[in-house]
Structure 1
Amino acid sequence: MKIKTLAVPAFVALSLLFTACAGDQVETPDADGAAGQVQEGADDTGDAMQEGADDAGDAMQEGADDAGDAMQEGADDAGDAVQEGADDTGDAMQEGADNMQEGADDAGDAMQEGADNMQEGQ
């Protein structure tokens, strides 16, 4: 096998390849540009972390405030319920006392009527 039979087509193929890729050059940034981009990325990351921490702190404070308000509202509702229960108990006791007095009065009237009937019967 002759070297020319392999070398000439390979040379032509590589020439065509390099000619086709000549317009597609990739440039790498210089060291200062890369360092600036890294610093900018680090600053952006730091800002995002600070903003996230601030948002989390605000959310925790808002949650604590809401919990405090809910606890106060619950305590107020419980106090109102206890007062209402005490009022209802007092009303029920007064009604029971009134019913007992009415029953005693009715019993006294019945006894008096019975005594009157006994006297009339004599």
Structure 2
Amino acid sequence: GQPASPTRLGKEIQVFVERLNQQMSSIAHVPHAAKFGGATGNYNAHHVAYPEFDWKAFGHDFVERILGLHHSFPTTQIEHYDHLAALMDGMKRIHTILIDLDRDIWSYISMDYFKQQIKAGEIGSSAMP
């Protein structure tokens, strides 16, 4: 970057805390989903075996109430993974924020804003004092 007006370390760290909190809140609201609907998502085999049974209601109740997941319906052969993609996208944003934080801390160390206190008698790495 370039020189800017003075700031405080606590404020700079708080920027990252706020960014991380926003992303954590965002992914906390992404539902975990599952499908229950046979091979192609339409209960055909279920209805052939037990035609009098309300499979759609059972599948919804089982997934939502018993498993505590969001029931994806209708589906194809697979759960469509949109919720999982949203979760992974949120994780990617969190990792990007942490990379930004790491780079800032590395810059502070490079500019000697942060230093490690050396304790007498303490043994360090064989490659570093």
Length-normalised TM-score, structure 1:
0.32
Structure (1/2) with the larger helix percentage: 1
Structure (1/2) with the larger strand percentage: 2
Length-normalised TM-score, structure 2:
0.30
